[in-house]
């Protein structure tokens, strides 16, 4: 069967994408796809470090608002 994505296959996919979406929408689609992949990678990376974020802080947080009395 050989390689799955040969240069000829990629060219056919590009032509089909141009026919479906048109040349004006392809840059926006590529940008959105790239941002989605980047967000997915950051999410997966965040899952590995989520154990550290669940530990409670040593110092309790208090409400420090003040009110003035006239």
Domain range annotation of the chain: 7-48
* 19-37 pLDDT tens trace: 998 888 988 988 999 999 9
Higher pLDDT, 41 or 60: 41
**pTM score, two decimals?**
0.47
Task: Check whether 48 has a pLDDT greater than 90.
Answer: no
**Mean pLDDT over residues 23-52, rounded?**
86
List CB contacts of 18: < 8 A, sequence separation 6 or more.
26
Q: What is the structure's pLDDT at 31?
A: 94
**Mean pLDDT over residues 29-54, rounded?**
83
Q: Tokens for 67?
A: 């009110």
């Amino acid at each position: 069967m050989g390689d799955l994505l040969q240069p000829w296959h990629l060219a056919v996919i590009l032509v089909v994408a141009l026919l479906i979406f048109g040349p004006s929408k392809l840059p926006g689609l590529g940008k959105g796809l790239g941002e989605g992949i980047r967000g997915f990678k950051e999410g997966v990376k965040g899952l590995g470090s989520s154990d550290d974020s669940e530990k409670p802080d040593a110092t309790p947080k208090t409400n420090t608002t003040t009110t003035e009395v006239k």
